[in-house]
Structure 1
Amino acid sequence: MSRLRLLSAAALLAVAANASATSFIVTTDAVVGALKSSSDATSDVSSSLRDNKVVIAARDDAASFVASQGQIRGVKLESALDLIRHQAPQLNATDAQLAQAILAI
């Protein structure tokens, strides 16, 4: 009888381990897929803004904004922020994050 219990426990353990591994793989695939689509959207937006004259003109204002921790808000930066939010409404970024992105472009 103990041999039967031992085999049953081993089978149960094998099934549980397989279910956990499958759950982990499905979860990992979902997270990676979501990150990839978010990254692709951000990449598409940044590449389209890289050549935009309004965004390029706002670099000095963005530098002042970042250096002053948001105290200095130039007109060109405001125009660029409005443009970015209009072209990419799916981005949930703060003004500081967008200003840093403008500097990175």
Structure 2
Amino acid sequence: MSRLRLLGVVALLTCASSAFATSFVYTTDMTVRATGSTSDATSGISNSFKDDKIVLEARDDAASFVASQGEIRGAHLEAAFKHIRGKLPTLAADDLQLAKAILTI
């Protein structure tokens, strides 16, 4: 009977480690894809608005916004968000991604 239990435990551990490895792969893939799409979005924004006065004036506000994880929202940053979204209506970036893109300019 103990041999049967031992085989059962081995089978359960094998299944559990397999599930963990699979979830790790999925999580890693999702993280890489999200980082890639964020990078694509921010590089497109930073290249498009590198000479834009409204966006350049928002850099200090963007730094505060990123450092506070979105808690501090300055007037210049809000104006830049509105300006960017007005020029690029199909842009699928959230406020934090836009703020990070402004910082790269």
What is the Cα deviation at residue 62 of structure 1? Answer: 4.0
Cα–Cα, structure 1 residues 70 and 6, in superposed 2: closer, same or farther, change >3 Å? closer
Name the aligned partner's letter for residue 24 of structure 1.
Answer: F
What is the Cα deviation at residue 91 of structure 1? Answer: 3.1
Deviations 1:19-68 (A, max 9, x none): 11101211221122112112211111111222x4xx1x344x447x74xx
Name the larger-Rg structure. 1
TM-score (norm 2): 0.60
Return the alpha-carbon distance in structure 2 between the equivalents of residues 48 and 19 of structure 1: 44
Name the aligned partner's letter for residue 90 of structure 1.
Answer: A
Correspondence for 1:6: 6
Of residues 68, 81, 92, the one that matches 1:90 is: 92
Correspondence for 1:38: 38
Higher relative CO (Cα under 8 Å, sequence separation at least 6) belongs to: 2
Q: Name stretches of at least 5 consecutive residues in structure 1 with no aligned partner.
A: none
TM-score (norm 1): 0.60
Give RMSD over aligned pairs.
Answer: 3.3
Query: Which structure 1 residue ranges, 4+ long, deviate > 4 Å from structure 2?
Result: none
Bigger shift: 82-91 or 17-26?
Answer: 82-91
The number of residues matched between the two structures is 89
What is the Cα deviation at residue 70 of structure 1? Answer: 4.0
% of aligned pairs identical?
41
What is the Cα deviation at residue 10 of structure 1? Answer: 0.7
Return the alpha-carbon distance in structure 1 between the equivalents of residues 30 and 40 of structure 2: 15
Return the alpha-carbon distance in structure 1 between the equivalents of residues 42 and 85 of structure 2: 12
Q: Name stretches of at least 5 consecutive residues in structure 2 with no aligned partner.
A: 62-72
